[in-house]
Structure 1
């Protein structure tokens, strides 16, 4: 795998565990009662039962491969693992919600095991026909003895396949449309979502890498490929350029091209759209009892609690914000809307002709607000005002800035640029 593929993996890890465990990281928290929402591919029999779930995902994108290019494909997903605390009894072992042994608490909860399926295929083999890559993941049971109890971890077997194909684009510019389809072919166990998840591919996504050639952006393709890009069909995953144009992450979450992990992040916090500083500070506020429960909930939760508890002050400060680049701080050119940007425009000296009379700064006018005036301006009808400036807007419209002649605060308003504005047709020269 290329270095770019390793960079893509860092981003993919954040997606793989998106929502795996949500703050406050305790099994008793309401938000952790319903998990496994992203990129879930259910067994086909369950998905076909009107549940709204899918059993397969499809990603299509364009590429310009070299003649001898090979396509590296890495499917990644989580396999659900039930972790059950079982107490010894005269008739064997019986499951319980939790137990404390030797000062350590053990809690019944669901975990996940990370799985990867790798394949390397010559690109030329994908053009004539679809290439199927079947895979299986074994189930199993692991038992950890405890005093008067045991910790049982159980997994169901999984079965699926990756379907790869490529078709040349019609036209003089070349290029291919690549299709990557991931299918869960496991049998269903039970009729509820909780039961079906035991044989689901959770947070399923693929990494693609060309040994020669480049992929095209799905959101910003070159002009010649824009029509073909719009014809790509993506269902359940979205192609993102990562690292370089020879690597793509087919993600269950839509992201922009070239995403990166902020270097200030000390580790994964698993919470959706996580903000490291907020979650870190909130985790610090957990009580000792809450932290103890979080540690008993999941090994990854325990790692978060331990990391936050020992995070040095300088690393906490880094989470507060950073400057990604330094922009040019030299004196900028005056913007188009600045009165000084165009020497031909001068509100202090410009004039406008009203009823054959030039009106400029210092002119006395009688106000006669039009139909579009607001209530405040309507109350000023018939009042005498003094023009303080003549402004020109972006549509070449003229506006008179005035102060009321009998207003005792007129000089103060003028000093601060606080004017009333009327169109030339809304005044009568005096």
Structure 2
């Protein structure tokens, strides 16, 4: 997985679950707090605190034939229900025990991706200065069922996953910002219609109709992006005019490369990196891996059991952390990246 995809994966699941990674913890009952793009009707009715649009605006250095391509990624919240098959019709339950396994209701997520590009590799600046390019977001509601079997192979229950429809659009446009310079804009909007019951559905009902952890990957060919954090002097004024709404665009890749931008709800610096010592995501980039790993290892047996039962991703964190060798744990303590000789002035 290339650098931008690895960092985008971290952004996508930031705050998905927080330590101690259990469903009963209060902070894991109020989730989906990053990068939300909510239904417009709800956003406007609630005063706009929960935005219905996200906008990335940046500068592209190039010419009329410079090409851009955009990928929008987000999480779609899924309602996981558990049904017990006992004596006929399935019945929804708060807990289903089968041997050593316990199944409980929860909110999971599906990764969604919208790609806006052209043929063969992108849309040109010439195209976008003449006409906006729009791709509709159209995800129908749906569901699936996973059978729960007892040790003998008999079906004793079902895990039912349901998701709501999503509607919206991704729009790209460009305008000249000077000689061989363009202002490039990507707008993501949520126009999901709401029925008459949405006011009584609470926040849970709204987030299931929202784009969560939304972020955008922008690529350019035969041109370069301009850093908005440290623009060259000749582009500083135009960089300051860029309007970004609920997102923060930075250059990604090897230091000095300027062909890719990651625009996310998380404030990053240009060329963010994932430490090579990291063994996986803890969904909380404000903490260091060593602290999170040691904290997981100190959980009680009951807490580990609940962590294992909460979500496949929390189970993966537990299994990954418990499998770390002493040498791997020690490597998380700290690393020297470079040394510099300091000389005292005479």
**TM-score normalised over the length of structure 2:** 0.91
Root mean square deviation of aligned Cα: 1.6
Point out 4+ residue stretches in structure 1 off by more than 3 angstroms. Answer: none
Query: Which digits, 9 at most, give the CA deviation of each residue in 1:283-303, with x for residues without a partner?
Result: 001122211111111000000
Select which of 227, 230, 233 maps to 2:240.
230
Q: Which residue of 1 aligns with 2:275?
A: 262
Equivalent in 161, 174, 184 of residue 153 of structure 1:
161
238-247 or 45-54, larger mean C-alpha shift: 45-54
CA contact (8 A) 2:56 2:248 kept: yes
Quote the residue 2:207 is aligned against.
Answer: 197
Q: CA deviation at 1:86?
A: 1.4
Cα distance in structure 1, aligned partners of 2:54 and 2:71: 15
Residue 117 (str. 1) matches residue 114 (str. 2):
yes
Cα distance in 2 for residues equivalent to 1:92 and 1:218: 59
What CA distance in whole angstroms lies between the structure 1 residues aligned with 2:166 and 2:46?
22
Aligned pairs for 1:52-131 within 5 A: 52-89=49-86, 92-121=89-118, 122-123=123-124, 124-131=126-133
Aligned to 1:350: none
1:14 equivalent among 10, 18, 31: 10
In structure 1, distance between residues paired with 2:100 and 2:62: 59
2:334 aligned with 1:328: no
Q: Distance in 2 between matches of 1:279 and 1:214?
A: 38
Do residues 316 (structure 1) and 329 (structure 2) align? yes
SS in 2 for 1:135: strand
Partner of 1:207: 217
Out of 173, 178, 200, the residue aligned to residue 165 of structure 1 is 173
Q: CA deviation at 1:198?
A: 0.8
**After the TM superposition, which residues 292-371 of structure 1 pair with which residues of structure 2 at under 5 Å, given as runs?**
292-328=305-341, 332-334=343-345, 341=346
Larger Rg: 1
Counterparts of 1:258 and 1:109, CA distance in 2? 35
Give the Cα separation in 2 of the matches to 1:328 and 1:137. 58
- Extract unaligned runs of 5+ from structure 2: 149-154
Question: Is the CA contact 1:188–1:196 (under 8 Å) kept in the aligned structure 2?
Answer: no
Q: Which residue of 2 aligns with 1:218?
A: 228
Relative contact order higher in (CA < 8 Å, ≥ 6 apart): 2
Q: Is the 8 A contact 2:63 2:180 kept in 1?
A: no
Aligned length: 327
Structure 1 segments unaligned to the other structure (5+ residues)? 335-340, 342-430
Residue of structure 2 in register with 1:186 after alignment:
192
Q: Secondary structure at the match of 2:5?
A: helix
Residue of structure 2 equivalent to 1:418: none
Report the 3-state secondary structure (helix = DSSP H, G, I; strand = E; otherwise coil) of the residue aligned with 1:47: helix
Is residue 2:136 matched to residue 1:140?
A: no
Cα drift, residue 139 of structure 1: 2.4
SS in 1 for 2:259: strand
Query: Which secondary structure does the structure 2 equivalent of 1:302 belong to?
Result: helix
> Given that residues 61 and 216 in structure 1 are in contact (C-alpha distance below 8 angstroms), is that contact kept between their aligned partners in structure 2?
yes
Contact 2:67 2:223 in 1 (8 A): no
Q: For 1:138 and 1:288, locate their aligned partners in 2 and report how far apart those are by CA, in whole Å.
A: 41
Pick aligned residue for 1:177 from 180, 183, 186? 183
C-alpha distance in structure 2 between counterparts of 1:26 and 1:95, whole Å: 21
The 3-state SS of whatever aligns with 1:224 is helix
Whether the 8 Å CA contact 2:227–2:270 is kept in 1: the answer is yes
